[in-house]
Structure 1
Amino acid sequence: MNGIMYLMIMLVAGGAFFLLFQNSRNRLLVHLALRRKLRPMRHELDRCKHNPAQQFELLDPIYRGVLFQLYPKVKMERSKLDELVNDELNRLIKNKRSSLWSSIVVTGRGVLALIMLSMSVVSGYVAYSETDMTSWFGPKHVVSETTALLGDTFELPRQITSSEELGMALAYHMSRFDESFQIRYVGKTNDFDETMESAWDWLEANHIYVFRLSRGGESQYRDHGGYVDLDMKLAYDMTTEESHQIAARVERIIQEMPIGLNDYEKVKYVNDFVVLNTAYNLDSTANPYTPYSILFNGEGVCEGYALTTLLLLEAAGVETRYISGEAGTELHAWNLVKLDGDWYHLDTTWNDPVPNRPGEVGYDYFLVSDATLRADHTWEEGKYPVASNNYH
Structure 2
Amino acid sequence: MEIIMYILIMGLSGGVGVLLLRTGRATRLVRQALQREMRTINDELKRAEHNPARQFELLDPIYRKVVFQVRSKVKMKRTELEQLVSDELNQIIKCRRSAVWSSVAVTGRNVLALIMLVVSAVGGYATYQEAKIIEWPGSQQVVSSSATILDDTFELPRQITSSEELGMALAYHMSRFDESFQIRYIGKTNDFDETMESAWAWLEANHIYVFRLSRGGESQYRDHGGYVDLEVNLAYDMTTEESHQIAARVERIIQEIPIGLNDYEKVKYVNDFVVLNTAYNLDSTASPYTPYSILFNGEGVCEGYALTTLLLLEKTGVETRYISGEVGTELHAWNLVKLDGDWYHLDTTWNDPVPNRPGEVGYDYFLVSDATLRADHTWEEGKYPVTAVGDYK
Q: 2:120 maps to which residue?
A: 113
Give the letter aligned to residue 168 of structure 1: M
In 1, the alpha carbon distance for the partners of 2:272 and 2:229 equals 47
Q: 2:175 maps to which residue?
A: 175
What is the CA-CA distance between 1:330 and the residue it aligns to? 1.2
Q: 1:209 maps to which residue?
A: 209
The CA deviation string for residues 308-331 of structure 1, in whole angstroms up to 9 with x for no partner, is: 000000000000000000112211
Residue aligned with 1:215, SS: strand
Contact 1:149 1:244 in 2 (8 A): no
Give the letter aligned to residue 252 of structure 2: R
What is the CA-CA distance between 1:115 and the residue it aligns to? 1.2
Superposition TM-score, scaled by structure 2 size: 0.68
Contact 2:280 2:299 in 1 (8 A): yes
Q: 2:83 maps to which residue?
A: 85
What is the CA-CA distance between 1:112 and the residue it aligns to? 7.7
In 2, the alpha carbon distance for the partners of 1:335 and 1:390 equals 15
The CA deviation string for residues 32-80 of structure 1, in whole angstroms up to 9 with x for no partner, is: 859x8479xxxxxxxxxxxx9xxxxxxxxxxxxxxxxxxx977512259
The CA deviation string for residues 87-139 of structure 1, in whole angstroms up to 9 with x for no partner, is: 999xxxxxxxxxxxxxxx979xx988331799xxxxxxxxxxxxxxxxxxxxx
Q: 2:190 maps to which residue?
A: 190
User: Cα gap change, 1:310/1:155 in structure 2, threshold over 3 Å: closer, same or farther?
Assistant: same
The CA deviation string for residues 194-229 of structure 1, in whole angstroms up to 9 with x for no partner, is: 100000000000000000000101100000001000
What is the CA-CA distance between 1:267 and the residue it aligns to? 0.1
Contact 2:119 2:218 in 1 (8 A): no
In 1, the alpha carbon distance for the partners of 2:118 and 2:308 equals 39
Residue aligned with 1:113, SS: coil
In 2, the alpha carbon distance for the partners of 1:213 and 1:331 equals 16
In 2, the alpha carbon distance for the partners of 1:243 and 1:346 equals 24
What is the CA-CA distance between 1:179 and the residue it aligns to? 0.6
1:256 and 2:263 matched = no
User: Cα gap change, 1:83/1:360 in structure 2, threshold over 3 Å: closer, same or farther?
Assistant: closer
Residue aligned with 1:200, SS: helix
Give the letter aligned to residue 325 of structure 1: G
Equivalent residues in 2 for 1:316-335 (5 A)? 316-335=316-335
Contact 1:219 1:231 in 2 (8 A): yes
Contact 2:318 2:337 in 1 (8 A): yes
Residue aligned with 2:326, SS: strand
Give the letter aligned to residue 223 of structure 1: D
User: Cα gap change, 1:74/1:219 in structure 2, threshold over 3 Å: closer, same or farther?
Assistant: farther
User: Cα gap change, 1:38/1:376 in structure 2, threshold over 3 Å: closer, same or farther?
Assistant: closer
Superposition TM-score, scaled by structure 1 size: 0.68
1:368 and 2:375 matched = no
Give the letter aligned to residue 156 of structure 1: L
Contact 2:149 2:209 in 1 (8 A): no
Q: 1:14 maps to which residue?
A: none
User: Cα gap change, 1:228/1:283 in structure 2, threshold over 3 Å: closer, same or farther?
Assistant: same
Contact 1:184 1:228 in 2 (8 A): yes
In 1, the alpha carbon distance for the partners of 2:376 and 2:102 equals 36
Equivalent residues in 2 for 1:280-299 (5 A)? 280-299=280-299
1:300 and 2:300 matched = yes
If you compute each CA radius of gyration, which structure gives the higher value, 1 or 2?
1
User: Cα gap change, 1:88/1:276 in structure 2, threshold over 3 Å: closer, same or farther?
Assistant: closer
Identity of aligned residues (%): 80
In 1, the alpha carbon distance for the partners of 2:287 and 2:81 equals 25
Q: 1:43 maps to which residue?
A: none
What is the CA-CA distance between 1:152 and the residue it aligns to? 1.2
> Structure 2 regions of 5+ residues with no counterpart?
21-58, 72-78, 88-100, 104-116, 126-147
What is the CA-CA distance between 1:150 and the residue it aligns to? 3.6
Equivalent residues in 2 for 1:334-345 (5 A)? 334-345=334-345
1:265 and 2:287 matched = no
Residue aligned with 1:233, SS: strand
Q: 2:159 maps to which residue?
A: 159
1:245 and 2:245 matched = yes
In 1, the alpha carbon distance for the partners of 2:367 and 2:166 equals 35
Residue aligned with 2:201, SS: helix
Contact 1:74 1:215 in 2 (8 A): no
In 2, the alpha carbon distance for the partners of 1:296 and 1:228 equals 42
Give the letter aligned to residue 115 of structure 1: V
In 2, the alpha carbon distance for the partners of 1:233 and 1:299 equals 29
**Structure having greater relative contact order (Cα 8 Å, sep ≥ 6):** 2
User: Cα gap change, 1:329/1:237 in structure 2, threshold over 3 Å: closer, same or farther?
Assistant: same
Give the letter aligned to residue 324 of structure 1: S
Contact 2:118 2:218 in 1 (8 A): no
In 2, the alpha carbon distance for the partners of 1:304 and 1:230 equals 30
